[in-house]
Structures are given as C-alpha cells and as structure tokens.
Structure 1
C-alpha cells in the first residue's frame, strides 16, 4: 500500500475523535486572557485585565492580589466585541510587587491561558504565560530573555497544534505529494510563505480583518481537497506538477491567520519583534511535530494488518471528509461576519 493510502487510513481512524472535538473548540477559538501591570510611581500600579468572551459569556476567572495591595480607583469595565477589559489603579503597602503572588481564581476550571506583562519604572519588563494547571504568577523583579523565548515558543506550538485548519491543510499537502523529498520542498515553501506574511502583518505593514482571513483559510483547504480529487481522476493539475508553488501561495494566506494569534495578545509594539521571532519558531516546531507524528504513524500502520478494502477506499473517503470539514468551517465563518 502506498504512503498516501496509509495517511488516508490514519486520517479516517482519527476523524471521529476530531469531529467530536470540533464542536467544542474550533480553530483559534481559545484566546488567552491578558493582564498588564505598569508601575506608575514607587508604590502605585496601573492594572489592565482583559478576559475573552466565549460565546458571549464572560470568562469565569477573578483577579486576586495579595492583602498588601489595595485599590486606589475602583475597577472600570468596558466591553469589546471579543473581550471584557477592566482597568484600575492599585497601590502596595511595602512599595513593591516584586516577589508577590497574583492569583487567577477559577482559571483551573477553564482551558484558557493568561499572558501576564509587568513593566517597572526602570523599563524592565516581565512576561509570563500562565496555564490553568498553575493559576498564579509570582511577580519577578527582573525578567530574563530566556523566559520570554520559552513563553512565546510554547504559545506558538500550542497555537499550531490547536489550529486544526492549519494542520488539516498540511495533511492535505501530504495527500498530494508523491515522495518525501517533494513533501520536504512543499512544506518548506509553506513555511517560508506564512513566515513572510506573519512578519509583515505583525509589524503592521499589512492589515487584513481576521474573520475574512479565517474564512479564506477554510476555503483554501476546500480548494485543496478538490485538487486531490482532480489528481486522483487523472486530470491535469498545477497542484500535482508544482505542489510547492500552491503551498507557497496559500501559505501567504495562512500567515495572516498566525498573525491574528499575536494580535489577540494585545502586546505593546515594543514587545512584538521579540514575541514574533519566538512565536514563529514555536509554530514551526509544532508543525514539524505534527509531520513527524504522521510519519511515525505511517511506520506503525505498515507493520499491522488490516482489510485491503479499507486501504482502497480510505484515500477517497478521507479526501471528501477533508472537503466536508473545510466547507463547514467556511460557511460557519462567513455566517459569523
């Protein structure tokens, strides 16, 4: 059995589980909360606490400072289309937040992370990504660049692994290419393209609204599914002859989707270049992890026995499943405009 049939068989084996999760978490739906703390004077801090709205509902997470911190101004709330922003000024009794713990009560019952950014008077900036398994942050006096690198690499990996539409596009590319060498060139072209638009969009040189981009990404997967059927039927196709070219063209579009993930973090412009670099590294690591997993599953399937009819029908069935899933995403995202 050839590699494409094996990939298709694997895809069908996990489709049921994938569809079961699709209703719970669509691509890029899990946005992090954001806490920004700016030191104003020796003992006063401006606090901005942004929580995402999930299906119109507020995230059930409360911010808790230690007892030595009190409000100078009451919390002021304003609602944005996708989040709720709370602003206030606090002060500390002992004049510093360094070494103190800020808790996120209720975070452990969610699947949402929290990005925490603290700026001190001397210009020092601390950035941390908080996960539900450890719903608190210990404010440090001095951040390290290695901490920033780790945070955004992890966020990039998580984004691509939860970005089911991007993974489905990469899987569809594996249905088209005829050799591992061709797959290497095709994935490299996709990587180069989305790195270009990710950089341009994040640095502000290109701006495209998020919802149309997400709908166009779903449509790109649908077009790729149609191309797979054309190739299977023996029809002439540019995708079959130059898969790297098609991957590059659609990669430019997918890069805009990756940029949307960074914009959701509401980072100040001074942090974007560093965050962009390590986030992009994380995206590539996550993509390579996915490809390596598929290759590993192929090796495993080759060692097992299963009905021959399953292999013959798997490729066509899996292709139509990809097309149906991407069509559903496209209609859903267009309807949400």
Structure 2
C-alpha cells in the first residue's frame, strides 16, 4: 500500500477516534443561543418573548432587565412579557441577568419596531448588555448569521462525524471535493425548503435518522468492502443523507429564529456559515495530513487497526445518539 494512502487513512482514523473518545459528554447541538424576541405593536408598547436553551436549569434561567423608563405589565406569562416605555427606546440598554452565572451561552436578540424596522444582534457569553441601535444595518445581520452557521457545524459533532466518515471513504482529493459538494448541495436544498415552510418533518425523527446515517457509514468502514456503492460512488450516499442533514440544520434555525423581513439574507448567510465551517474542518484535516506526510513513511498496520477501531467507536456513539433520540419521541 502506498505511503500516501496509509498516511491518509491513519489521519482520518485518528480524527474519528479523537472525536469519538472525547464526545461522550458532548450533546449534539447543545450550545444553542438564548433567543430574545421583542416586538413593538405601537410606539412605546412592546412584547418580549424569550427562548432559553434546554441545557440551562430552571434555577439559573436568565431575565431581561429593562431601562428605568420601561416597566413590565402585570399581564405576563412564562413565554410572553409585555412592557411599555415612556420614552424612545433608541440608545437604551437591555441587560441579561443570570441568577448564578452565564453557562457560556451566546444570546441572539431580535427587535421588531412598529414602523417595520428590524434590529438583530448576537452577543457572546461575556456580553450581558445590548444597546438598542437607531438603524438596522443589513451587513450586521449577515455577519451574525454567518457566525451562527459556523458555530453550529463546528459544535454539531454528529454532522462532523458524518463528514469525517465521508472524507475517509472518498479517499482522493478529487473524490473528496465531489463528495462534499454533493453533501453541500443536498443539505442546502432541504435547509431552504424547511426554513421557508415548504416542507415540514418532525425534528426528533430527523435527528434519529441523522444518527442512523452515521451508523451506516461506520458499518461500511468496519466491513471495508470497497466494491459497494458507498465506496465506489460516495457522492450518492453524501447527497442522499445530505437531504436529511439539511432538515437538522433547519431545526437549529427554527430554535434560533429567522427575521421575517430579512429572511433570505439570514438564511443565505447561515448556510454560508455552515459551508465555511465544513471547509475549515476539511482544511485542518489536510494540514495535519501534510505535516504527518513529512514525518512518517509507512503506517499500513496502524491504518488497518485504526480504521476498524475508530469506525467501531463512531458506530457505538451514533447508536447511543439514535436510542437517546428515539426515546424522546
């Protein structure tokens, strides 16, 4: 077996093993933001809706502190909190307060004014206040949703493991490019269709099938039968399962929320962020491979054992996700 092929196999096996060994305490899509939606029905009259990530316990649920000239109204529910302001809210600060501390969660704020203007902002875990701007800038919206797309793919361990298995099976750089492109086109189609409300599927079922897609690729790696369709034409498998992964991305967007007046911009740049995250992952793998190629020359034995045990580890982890997700139906 040529040294380049064994090096590539060792590299990808190592990536799979590393991700598997350190992922047992990581939940896919765990770091979703704290979403704050504020809508102004008429000048000075607002309604606040907040969506707290499930990972935040009830005793540490954050609250929003309003400016001194704004007051919450008595008619409140757990989901909707109307408030009124005696002055213009432009330039005022909204503060996010956690009873204990912020558990490293970002915040996504959307403010819809009565005149149709929409303001969006993304705050990092250390940013606990937001100053209401006077005018929405579209480039800020594009930046925020691009960052959200990058973050989602890089913390979405199930998507990364699926992508790593695809890269492993594809092998050569040309086949990798074709395979990843097929995956990208497929999940972009279903992401747009689901986000625009054209197609709707139950999220728990989609996430369970995504776990099954990883199990399928892990089985292909364990059996190592290179005459199957998966090994001969991985782009077909990538495209088929990519349609399902697109629904998974759309579920995250549903949790975050899309600004209705700038929906195409937010959707486009979220997808761009996902693609940039994928590209970053593949480039890191290529860089590590190039470094290893200069150091090692023959890894045939490590290649065979690494592929088998890494694929087994990935399969076990994906099986855990599958049963965990169907239990939530």
Q: Same fold (TM over 0.5)?
A: yes
How does 1:34-45 map onto structure 2 within 5 Å?
A: 34-45=35-46
* Structure 2 residue corresponding to 1:282, chosen from 266, 269, 273: 273
* Structure 1 residue corresponding to 2:169, chosen from 172, 176, 198: 176
In structure 1, how many angstroms separate the alpha carbons of the residues matched to 2:148 and 2:183? 20
Following TM superposition, where does structure 1 have runs of at least 4 consecutive aligned residues deviating by more than 4 angstroms?
A: 305-309
Q: In the alignment, which residue of structure 2 is the partner of 1:219?
A: 212
State TM-score, norm by structure 2: 0.91
Q: In the alignment, which residue of structure 1 is the partner of 2:11?
A: 6
In structure 1, how many angstroms separate the alpha carbons of the residues matched to 2:271 and 2:62? 29
How does 1:268-279 map onto structure 2 within 5 Å?
A: 269-279=260-270
How far residue 323 of structure 1 moved from its aligned partner, in angstroms, is 1.2
Size of the alignment, in residue pairs? 322
In structure 2, how many angstroms separate the alpha carbons of the residues matched to 1:73 and 1:298? 61
* Structure 2 residue corresponding to 1:298, chosen from 281, 289, 301: 289
In structure 1, how many angstroms separate the alpha carbons of the residues matched to 2:306 and 2:189? 35
Contact 1:218 1:330 in 2 (8 A): yes
How does 1:158-197 map onto structure 2 within 5 Å?
A: 158-197=151-190
* Structure 2 residue corresponding to 1:156, chosen from 121, 143, 149: 149
Q: In the alignment, which residue of structure 2 is the partner of 1:322?
A: 314
Q: CA 1:40 to 1:243, structure 2 compared with 1: closer, same or farther past 3 Å? A: same
How far residue 58 of structure 1 moved from its aligned partner, in angstroms, is 5.8
Contact 1:225 1:322 in 2 (8 A): yes
Residues 272-314 of structure 1, C-alpha deviations (whole Å, 9 max, x = no match): 3222111101110111011111111112222335995544421
Contact 2:118 2:261 in 1 (8 A): no
Q: CA 1:306 to 1:134, structure 2 compared with 1: closer, same or farther past 3 Å? A: farther
Q: CA 1:200 to 1:14, structure 2 compared with 1: closer, same or farther past 3 Å? A: closer
Q: CA 1:133 to 1:74, structure 2 compared with 1: closer, same or farther past 3 Å? A: same
In structure 2, how many angstroms separate the alpha carbons of the residues matched to 1:203 and 1:117? 19
Contact 2:71 2:83 in 1 (8 A): yes
Residue aligned with 2:295, SS = coil
Residues 13-67 of structure 1, C-alpha deviations (whole Å, 9 max, x = no match): 4543x23xx32x3111332222122223332222222323337746531211122
Q: CA 1:10 to 1:51, structure 2 compared with 1: closer, same or farther past 3 Å? A: closer
Q: In the alignment, which residue of structure 2 is the partner of 1:68?
A: 69
How far residue 74 of structure 1 moved from its aligned partner, in angstroms, is 4.5
Residues 242-262 of structure 1, C-alpha deviations (whole Å, 9 max, x = no match): 111111001001000000011
How far residue 9 of structure 1 moved from its aligned partner, in angstroms, is 2.8
Contact 1:31 1:52 in 2 (8 A): yes
Contact 2:16 2:311 in 1 (8 A): no
How far residue 228 of structure 1 moved from its aligned partner, in angstroms, is 2.0
State TM-score, norm by structure 1: 0.89
Residue segments in structure 2 that go unaligned for 5+ positions in a row? none
* Structure 1 residue corresponding to 2:248, chosen from 229, 233, 257: 257
Q: CA 1:213 to 1:58, structure 2 compared with 1: closer, same or farther past 3 Å? A: farther
